[in-house]
Amino acid sequence: MAILRWLDANLEKVIILVNYVAMAGIIFVEVIRRFVFNEQAAWSSTIPIYLFLWIVWVGCAYNVKIRAHLTFDEVRMRMPSGAQYASRLLYSFRWIVFSAIVIYYSPEQVLLAHDNFAIVQGTDNVMQWWFYVATPFAFSLLIVRVLQNVRVDWLKYRAGEPFQIQTSVFGD
């Protein structure tokens, strides 16, 4: 149970950090190799782009989790409690519908890359689908985060507590 709580609190951060460090490390090492040793790995300009897919889509789920992604809270915080709750439900519904559309169509790209044995340019055996799977994974995670937020909103609304408005990614 403690592992699940830790994953719930840190999953996105770990995925983003690992991919960002790998991406930055590859770019740093290959820039040094290019300018100091006059050589460069053929895959060094493609793998970071694919890693960026994980950073962007999982980052989207993380920002939905902390309520910092396209929320328009400046308008919402001036509304009465019932309107704030309805606005949050509409926001959540929109994310779920959008994510469901992405989840419905993105596996086609993953399967296409998998079935065609598409490899990352400049490599011999790194498969593109390993990176493309970030899209359905992250949008599935995003739906989980939206549903968690809906539950919190429902409990706050039912208890008559004010909604906490996120004004910054950093929680300020």
End-to-end CA distance of the chain, in Å?
30
Q: How confident is the model at residue 169, as a pLDDT?
A: 56
Q: What is the pTM of this model?
A: 0.88
pLDDT digits 0-9 by tens, 84-112? 999 999 999 999 999 999 999 999 999 99
- Using one digit for the tens of pLDDT, what is the confidence trace for 120-160? 999 999 999 999 999 999 999 999 999 999 999 999 999 98
Examine the pLDDT at 172 and tell me if it is beyond 50.
Answer: no
Asked if residue 64 lies in contact with residue 43, where contact means CB atoms within 8 angstroms, the answer is no
Mean pLDDT for the stretch of residues 51-65: 96
Alpha carbon 142 to its chain's center? 7
Reference 129, options 148, 112, 142, 149; nearest CA is 112
Confidence (pLDDT) at 69:
75
Report the alpha-carbon distance of residue 43 to residue 30 in Å, rounded. Answer: 10
**What are the CA-CA distances from residue 14 to residues 19, 65, 134 (Å)?**
8, 14, 14
Nearest 5°: the CA angle 129, 133, 136 is 145
